[in-house]
Structure 1
């Protein structure tokens, strides 16, 4: 049995599809495609699927992936890609289908491109002068304080038309995962930059050695 990784982009209106709904979408798409995917056994068989690092609602991504299994001996992965894209909902595009090379637990960082209206550039630049930016990270078990400056020392702003953007990489491991919304909330609290004005795009995953996850 081969484990297959389906890599895809999730943008525009699709960014508002939650993880639970995304699981339902993929189940239905894979069933409609007729591809030879493996189903779990038991009284309620369903397609085996594993998503890496679930994306927050409203955030876009160029590096989403879901792993499935197939008993096909020589899968035609280009056919898989074509068949899936033909029936994908708007905003979701399959970019690659291939055998799994790295396990998802090797992901250590997630990188993002965040943009704001250009009018907010002056306020955003003030982040670099802040000595400390503590934020509260909440989980099901507890709440702890994280110092954002340890993970994002400065923002390197770049103008892009009517918007200004910057790139950050945040921990995304089993030990610590930081959501970029912690930064946008802190920018609103400390600098008055509206969090709602931010566009967040996840661009890639990195391993602990800062190599590209594939």
Structure 2
């Protein structure tokens, strides 16, 4: 399934599709030129998404609908472009601008009442410290300042707005680990799917969210 592709593998799939679509791609200079493509934010292996954004530099304009149709005709099953738009003149890097991601999290074995109570306590907490795995081992991290919104949508369903991008990332499994601190029965719940709905630029002062289309 496409959601089990690594970010690097997904980049290869997209680049191959763009090349096979015979679009007028702009290339980097140097000994080993490659298409000028940039990604807003890496998607974790195992997560699905309907809100990924990429910048593709072209040497000449292409009708957005034709762009989508030509690329989708050669992409493998499970990877599809949903929409294309011309980038605004003078627009900056998506990677530098994006700092928030909205996820739908699906948990198996999570009691809804316990989930709602834990989410409420999570939102009220001043700190939620979880263990984060890294190349040099695990370390404690307070994720609470970087979980901007958390809501229960129904049985085993959560929506979480979290930090992402160059400033740091809160992982879906870390949100679940934080919730389990407030309801021990959630410790056995299994995160079966993290689905990214949208990426945003979040204003740190007001909390206002801007979709990448408007950046």
**Global fold match (TM > 0.5):** yes
TM-score (norm 1): 0.79
Query: Aligned in 2, Cα 1:195/1:87: closer, same or farther, shift over 3 Å?
Result: farther
Counterpart in 2 of 1:25? Answer: 13
Structure having the higher strand fraction is 1
Partners of 1:153 and 1:32 in 2: how far apart? Answer: 40
Q: Give 1:140 deviation, angstroms.
A: 5.2
Equivalent positions of 1:54-65 (< 5 A) are: 54-65=42-53
Partners of 1:43 and 1:155 in 2: how far apart? Answer: 47
Counterpart in 2 of 1:176? Answer: 168
**Unaligned stretches of 5+ residues in structure 2:** 204-208
Query: Aligned in 2, Cα 1:143/1:78: closer, same or farther, shift over 3 Å?
Result: same
Is the Cα–Cα contact under 8 Å of residues 124 and 191 in structure 1 kept in the other structure?
Answer: no
Is the Cα–Cα contact under 8 Å of residues 109 and 188 in structure 2 kept in the other structure?
Answer: no
Output the aligned Cα RMSD.
Answer: 2.7
Q: Give 1:170 deviation, angstroms.
A: 0.7
Partners of 1:114 and 1:133 in 2: how far apart? Answer: 18
Q: Give 1:118 deviation, angstroms.
A: 6.6
Instruction: Figure out how many residues of one structure are paired with residues of the other and give that number.
Output: 198
Is the Cα–Cα contact under 8 Å of residues 113 and 167 in structure 1 kept in the other structure?
Answer: yes
SS in 1 for 2:52: strand
Q: Give 1:112 deviation, angstroms.
A: 0.8
Q: Give 1:192 deviation, angstroms.
A: 3.6
Among 146, 150, 153, the residue aligned to 2:141: 146
Is the Cα–Cα contact under 8 Å of residues 184 and 198 in structure 1 kept in the other structure?
Answer: no
Partners of 2:212 and 2:148 in 1: how far apart? Answer: 24
Is the Cα–Cα contact under 8 Å of residues 125 and 155 in structure 1 kept in the other structure?
Answer: no
Counterpart in 1 of 2:79? Answer: 92
Q: Give 1:53 deviation, angstroms.
A: 0.9
User: Does 2:210 align with 1:211?
Assistant: yes
Query: Aligned in 2, Cα 1:154/1:79: closer, same or farther, shift over 3 Å?
Result: closer
Counterpart in 2 of 1:9? Answer: none
Is the Cα–Cα contact under 8 Å of residues 115 and 186 in structure 2 kept in the other structure?
Answer: no
